[in-house]
Amino acid sequence: MGARKQVDAPPAEFAEAVSQLRGARFRPEVFVEEMPAPQRIAPHAAAVSADVTVDGDDVATGRLVILYDPAGNDAWQSTFRCVAYVRAAVEPEMVTDALLGGVGWTWLMEALADRGADFLAPSGTVTRVVSESFGGMADDDATAEIEIRASWSPVPGPAGLVDVTRHAEAWGEVLCTAAGLPPVPPGVVAMPTRRGQRGQ
């Protein structure tokens, strides 16, 4: 039994990354919980989902997946890859702004820079979605959303280890920015998100 556990145990590098992901701190409005990770993209993966709630309303949602391939991946230029998704409601008139896509991508780049989360090979899309209702739903207001899908490769630090915490917290920051929340004032520390936060 002992030998089997040794074989099945995840690599130490990936186990540390999962521990860091679980230890990331987010704003109180962000409810984060673990979710099943995709199994076919990389040998090892971990994932979390998040909802941003303000006054009882969900204003943004997202997912973050950490992929690990000990053999490395040429496309990633690394053994690790972060895959992120963010969706948030915006004012319908905003989606007609041709600059919105670039602004959404800038939110991610600036959040990573602000957290000191160095990265390689960024890739992604920013999509604007408008939904209008007709027929029996004609009285419903039009809704608009922005969707950010992105991936990037964390750069290891001086000790050769990837600091997943910084990347996860940057993703959380993008969620809040997309949701329209004001920035946290300097010196204010975000609290760790706990499971079951909504039920408290």
DSSP 112-124: HHHTT--EEEEEE
Structural domain contains residue 187 = no
Measured between alpha carbons, how far is residue 42 from residues 38, 74, 82 in Å? 8, 13, 12
Q: How many CB atoms lie within 10 A of CB 123?
A: 13
Can you give the pLDDT of all 200 residues of the chain as single tens digits? 444 444 467 889 999 999 999 999 999 999 999 999 998 899 999 999 999 999 888 899 999 999 999 998 999 999 999 999 999 988 766 766 667 788 899 999 999 999 999 999 999 999 888 776 677 776 767 678 889 999 999 998 777 788 999 999 999 999 999 998 988 655 554 544 443 344 33
Structural domain contains residue 188 = no
Structural domain contains residue 49 = yes
Structural domain contains residue 144 = yes
Q: Letter for the amino acid at 153?
A: S
Of 39, 47, 45, nearest to 67 (Cα)? 45
Of 46, 177, 169, nearest to 113 (Cα)? 169
Cβ pair 33, 198 in contact under 8 A:
no
Coil, strand or helix at 191: coil
Q: How many CB atoms lie within 10 A of CB 101?
A: 16
Structural domain contains residue 184 = no
Half-sphere exposure of 49 (CA within 13 A, CB side): 7
Structural domain contains residue 82 = yes
Structural domain contains residue 107 = yes
CA distance 82 to 65: 6
Number of structural domains (the chain) is 1
Range of the domain at 70: 12-179
Structural domain contains residue 139 = yes
